[in-house]
Structure 1
Amino acid sequence: MKRIGLIALAAFIGGAAALGGYKWMEHKNDNLLSFADQQKVLFASNAKISSAGAVDFVEAAAAVSPAVVHIKTSYSGGGERSSSPMDMFDFFGGGGRKMQRAPRAASGSGVILTPDGYIVTNNHVVDNADKIEVILSDRRKVSATIVGKDPNTDLALIKVDATDLPVVKMGNSDNVQIGEWVLAVGFPLDLQTTVTAGIVSAKSRSIGILARDQQQPSEEDFEEYQRTGKMPARAANTSIESYIQTDAAINPGNSGGALVNANGELVGINAAIASQTGTNVGYGFAIPVNLAKKILDDFRKYGAVKRGYIGVTFSTLDADLAEKLNVKDNSGLYVNEVLPGSGAAAAGLLKGDIIKKIDGNIIYDSPDLQEKIGRLSPGDKVELTYSRNGQLKDTRVTLKGDGAATKPEAIAKNGGSASIEKLGASFAPASAQLKNKYGAKSGVVVTGVVPGKIFDSLDISKGLLVTAVNGRPVNSAKDIEAALPQSRNGMTTISGVTAEGKFTYSF
């Protein structure tokens, strides 16, 4: 009997050890998964024919509300910052992005994505904040740090030190249909958790709020085009606007909150309203969750967005523009310019081509293209259908990184060991005050970046603090020159720090 007891005890201990080891490995591998894949572990597959779900919103509201948090931010007094899109956006063009004295405090909303505290919100909710506090559904107040933020999509990912948090299930925004019911959940006007209902009024809506100064070509542009045959160069619009429009009541404070379908699945992140008064008049806009998934995964992996580009500037065709350009098509995207060294140039696209489809999906307006490209990364391929001289043609475009004709990997392979000249940057010794601010013992400040070279390709911008090269502390350009040949296995490593945290690049 004693022997049987020992065997049972040994079996119990072995089983507990195996289960504990499994749980440890499961937690260790969490960060290797995308947010969408990680959530598959949390939610059983529940396929439905329609994204709309039941008409009764009680279950959806009960499931989502605990995982939508109140975000409070504070700012140093006396600074200047641009007003948030939620607060000042005027659908009819007035007001807008005026500069105003920064408030000492502001608030918004956020959506918990994982039990260990990753939370999505808007960039404008946390941008330039000195302190970020998150109030959870159980009234706990916890500090948050920024993992990554992107003004081009108005998305940000923050992290709190907490466990076993409630989570909102990510849905599929491609399945959202115009006319279906949705709920907006957040903390409007500093109220407690508030749920409002409405329908999806439109999809792929661009409202120009993220890049007001990047407009369609002007009358003068078309006059020059007719005179010279060349469309004037315009600043590239890197913002991505393809909003879900809803008439669910959204007000200041809802920024970063959840837009969910009647199944309680997250389909959008509330971002802006159209109003002349600053409060709801029936037009709210949310960032599609399918676009957010890619951006948020990049934040967690790299701390920034790795965005791919086709490499064209374009105008959305309509009857008036087609007449001015003397083209027969009145739908699609008219290519104004193909950037040298871009994926579009390599694929054979030319000025005057009209992009009609991407991966078989018809392109009606710029958001149709921008959102789909915004979900992809440098190196990904897309199938484009375009019209040239009235004939449809197909081509495959390999996306390239922001502003770079060559990807960083190619630069490293072709360039051999790096030098300051190949880095394409200039440096100055960091001041003691700057090093103290970031807790760094060494450092140089990037004072300039050469377009098309390694630092430009890696998105290392002017003003960043570089603390080490190949593991060696650097305090001058001479230190960098001396450290560069000390690479291991042909790889060069650049380390530094920003306001968002430490970074390391290897190439």
Structure 2
Amino acid sequence: MKKFSSLLLVSLLSGAMTLGGYKLLVENNDSKKSIITDAAASSYTRPVGLTAENLDFTEAADKAVHYVVHVKNVSYRTVTNPIMEFIYGYRGGQQQEQVGTGSGVIISEDGYIVTNNHVVKDAQDLEVTLNNKKVYKAKLVGTDSKMDIALLKIDSDEKLPYTTFANSDNVKVGEWVLAVGNPYNLNSTVTAGIVSAKARNLGENSIQSFIQTDAAVNPGNSGGALVNTNGELIGINTMISSMTGSYVGYSFAVPSNVTKKIVEDIMEFGNVQRGILGIEGGELNAAASKELGVNDTNGFYVNRVSKGSGAEKSGLKKGDIIVKVDEAAIASYADIQNVLNTKRPNDQVKVTFKRDGKLMTVPVSLSKNDTFSTEIKGLKLENIDATDKRSFGLNYGVKISEINNGRLKPYADDLEGGIILSIGNVKATNVETVSRALENLGEDQSVQVDMITKNGQRLRLII
């Protein structure tokens, strides 16, 4: 009997231990498995950066509408009646008023305003209306047609609300932004979108480097503000991409860092000071890399270095692949311009490039744009300066400083000092434009050149 009782006790203890072990190991593991599964599931379904707080634009909009203004451009033209002149000998005409409108951004409490150059172009009278409906006469301080920026000034007895400039280099693709302006004369209009791209170049020969956004921008928004969610200025809305003239998807803004530098130049020097590396070339991609025989498909390939430029003095040469300027990664010429547009002549930048598979970094002092020259097809070319523009009555062109082309040498006295206006169908806005147009031609190909001689005579050459 005693033996049976001992056996029963052992059996009960064994059963209890087995049951306890099952509870401890199996069910606990199932519980852990359930917790891990739930956590994993929640990480996939959790919204990223889209909380209600992040989508509240009211504070930013309230700031921006007070420093964004309505700009009215008034010009006059004389309208004549040829029939009246022929029948009655009537001479003269009737003055007809033309009105254009846009937006502007107050950048100082004493009344300096940034807008687009095309908003104020050819204006004879400028009028600015604030958000509080007060109207002021404005004067034009200066313009930069290449970047489409203009600076205005109004005189007010009171301190005005103004924007602070954000660092546009810190803007990220996907970031929420607001476009504030006066489309179709609808004052204080705010639209929202995201940054779609940075360093967007809309023309092959453009020096511009835009912020692209899908915030709705329409006629009248030009010159208005592109702001971040803190209400700080990150760009000046400039144009839209549209087949109809109205918003259909994307708009473009001049970055705030570029705008700020242009304004400072106009106020300090009276014009814009631009620095250049002194290189020519093109961005790499699969097709270009194959044609050039290089392995890299990203970066800017240097095809020519200008004599006497900062790039030449720093040792850059044909075949180098620029991958970084200062801290900015370089994938295209627009990326380089995005950095250089905030620099002045004699400023120094760090250029990182690949040569023979090795990375190298050198400091490069920027040259003045007006002194940039190159020689191609026996023509030594340089950008025209302010004196040339006044003398010829031009706002663009490329000067022929020397002729070494054997076929054109006999005409050197007539051609040297002349201004090239176009190469083929390409407007000669600067040396880089002309060089690129000529570079695309084969050795045996000819091209038509329209120019004006130093004596003011219009010529058409075939070179």
- Once the 2 structures are TM-superposed, how far is the Cα of residue 140 of structure 1 from its aligned partner? 2.1
1:265 paired with 2:192, answer: no
Cα 1:265–1:54 change in 2 (3 A) is farther
Letter in 2 for 1:344: A
- Report matched runs for 1:189-268 at 5 Å: 189-208=184-203, 215=204, 237=205, 239-268=206-235
In 1, distance between residues paired with 2:53 and 2:164?
14
Counterpart in the other structure of 2:352:
385
Counterpart in the other structure of 2:342:
375
Counterpart in the other structure of 2:295:
328
- Once the 2 structures are TM-superposed, how far is the Cα of residue 78 of structure 1 from its aligned partner? 6.4
> Aligned to 1:153, which of 133, 147, 151?
147
- Report matched runs for 1:11-50 at 5 Å: none
TM-score by length of 1: 0.59
Number of residue pairs aligned between Structure 1 and Structure 2: 319
**Helix, strand or coil at the partner of 1:198:** strand
In 1, distance between residues paired with 2:372 and 2:73?
39
Letter in 1 for 2:363: R
1:302 paired with 2:269, answer: yes
- Once the 2 structures are TM-superposed, how far is the Cα of residue 190 of structure 1 from its aligned partner? 1.5
In 2, distance between residues paired with 1:360 and 1:61?
32
Which protein is bigger by CA-based radius of gyration? Answer: 2
Letter in 2 for 1:337: R
Kept in 1, the 8 Å contact 2:60–2:231? The answer is: yes
Instruction: Give the share of equivalent positions with the same residue, in percent.
Output: 48
Counterpart in the other structure of 2:70:
70
Kept in 1, the 8 Å contact 2:278–2:372? The answer is: no
Counterpart in the other structure of 2:111:
117
In 1, distance between residues paired with 2:60 and 2:267?
28
**Helix, strand or coil at the partner of 2:77:** coil
Gaps of 5+ in 2: 1-51, 80-95, 374-379, 393-463
Counterpart in the other structure of 1:179:
174
In 2, distance between residues paired with 1:452 and 1:200?
37
Counterpart in the other structure of 1:460:
387
Higher relative contact order structure (alpha carbons within 8 Å, sequence separation ≥ 6): 1
In 2, distance between residues paired with 1:53 and 1:396?
44
In 2, distance between residues paired with 1:78 and 1:206?
38
Letter in 2 for 1:129: A
Counterpart in the other structure of 2:120:
126
Kept in 2, the 8 Å contact 1:244–1:286? The answer is: yes
- Once the 2 structures are TM-superposed, how far is the Cα of residue 389 of structure 1 from its aligned partner? 2.6
**Aligned-residue CA RMSD (Å):** 2.6
TM-score by length of 2: 0.65
- Once the 2 structures are TM-superposed, how far is the Cα of residue 147 of structure 1 from its aligned partner? 1.5
**Helix, strand or coil at the partner of 2:369:** coil
In 2, distance between residues paired with 1:361 and 1:383?
10
In 2, distance between residues paired with 1:124 and 1:53?
38
More strand by share: 2
- Once the 2 structures are TM-superposed, how far is the Cα of residue 398 of structure 1 from its aligned partner? 0.4
**Helix, strand or coil at the partner of 1:76:** strand
Cα 1:363–1:452 change in 2 (3 A) is closer
CA deviations on 1:286-339 (whole Å, 9 max, x unpaired) are 111011111111111112101111111121111111112222221111112211
Letter in 2 for 1:158: L
